[in-house]
Amino acid sequence: MKILITGSEGFIGKNLHIYFAEKKENKLLLTNRKTTSDELKLNIQSADLIIHLAGVNRPLNKEDFFEGNTNTTKEIVETLMQSNKSTPVVYASSTQAEIDNPYGRSKKEAEDLLLNYSKKAKAAVYIYRLPNVFGKFAKPNYNSVVATFCYNISRSLPIEIHDSSKKINLVFVEDFCKEIDGLVSKVPGVGIQYPKLNSEYSVSLHELANKLYQYKEVRSTLSIPAVGNSFERALYSTFISYYPIEDCQYSIPEYKDPRGRFVEMLKTESSGQFSFFTAPPGITRGGHYHNTKTEKFLIIQGKALFRFQHYFTKEYCEITVNGSDPKIVDTIPGWTHDITNIGENELIVMLWANEVFDRNLPDTFSAEIHK
């Protein structure tokens, strides 16, 4: 399928471009402000689907709203009609199309042009009235509060909030890309639709700023909030994308003693923490038990002997693990355990614990193993 994306150099356009670039069954026809009128017409005539993103939302003059939003759409519709085409069109409109302001009116006029085209050509038209869209590639200090907050906070610059209780509705750009992918895969039929995205989020400016400051502090506290699902996943990904590439690295504390090194990598709210430690040849680490804490060990390098002994029954077990044969070794509550480097090289061990270490309640009690 040949897919024409207008406004391909814009925020949503770049995300759609990168999203569809991996789908080799589609050919992308990309147009932007540098595209000539003749080139645009040729692309319109050859496209099997048009994703119309081109537009303006912060011009120098009010008249430019209508030039960038209404007239660009008019050019697309007229080319289709003159070519006797009934190509499906997906249009990225705005919730402001319901509001009487220059931007809103220009978007509404563009919608009306597409609705008229749909009626006359019996073509499928999908009009998405999008709220604030956020994600990677959005321009900060322009028209996206998320982009501005992410950019400034990631660089330790101040942000301005005039009404912290104000709620904003948000759509993650990746969710919009998936929505469009769904349309492409089912080949739109005849009809007019104002589809609703399944994933739309509402957050106050105060909540938004607080979450972003939490993400910023991860580098110093090593404690990360839940960022694996829903809005938090999308927002955290967006925040990270605004760091300068040279700042994609940061140092974390390292603790050394004759037994080797110990480094905490990340602490989570509900899924424990990740660390690693080392041990020179012949060194034993551990020699303790836990009442509720459990751990998973993965040998990254070297050869290790794990020893376990039940606190009451004194049942004993040994396990030898080599880094060349990846295995997870669990510690079991109520069993004393230690680990000895029985190889010739430094032992490197990755460690996950199901709870974050609390120095006041460490749940770690020294004990010796007697074979």
CA 113/CA 77 separation, integer angstroms: 7
φ/ψ region of 247 (left if φ > 0, alpha if ψ in -120 to 50, else beta) reads alpha
Q: What is the 3-state secondary structure (H, E, C) of the chain?
A: CEEEEECCCCHHHHHHHHHHCCCCCCEEEEECCCCCHHHHHHHHHHCCEEEECCCCCCCCCCHHHHHHHHHHHHHHHHHHHHCCCCCCEEEEEEHHHHCCCHHHHHHHHHHHHHHHHHHHHCCCEEEEEECEEECCCCCCCCCCHHHHHHHHHHCCCCCCCCCCCCEEEEEEHHHHHHHHHHHHHHCCCCCEECCCCCCCEEEEHHHHHHHHHHHHHHHHHCEECCCCCHHHHHHHHHHHHCCCHHHCCCCCCCEEECCEEEEEEEEECCCCEEEEEEECCCCEEEEEECCCCCEEEEEEECEEEEEEEECCCCCEEEEEEECCCCCEEECCCCEEEEEEECCCCCEEEEEEECCCCCCCCCCCEECCCCC
Map tokens 């990225």 to a residue.
92
| Residues 216, 217, 219: CA angle, nearest 5 degrees | 90
Active site residue 103: yes
Q: Are 112 and 104 in contact (CB under 8 A)?
A: no
Pick the catalytic residue from 91, 103, 126, 289: 103
Q: What are phi and psi of 79, to 5 degrees?
A: -65, -40
Active site residues: 103
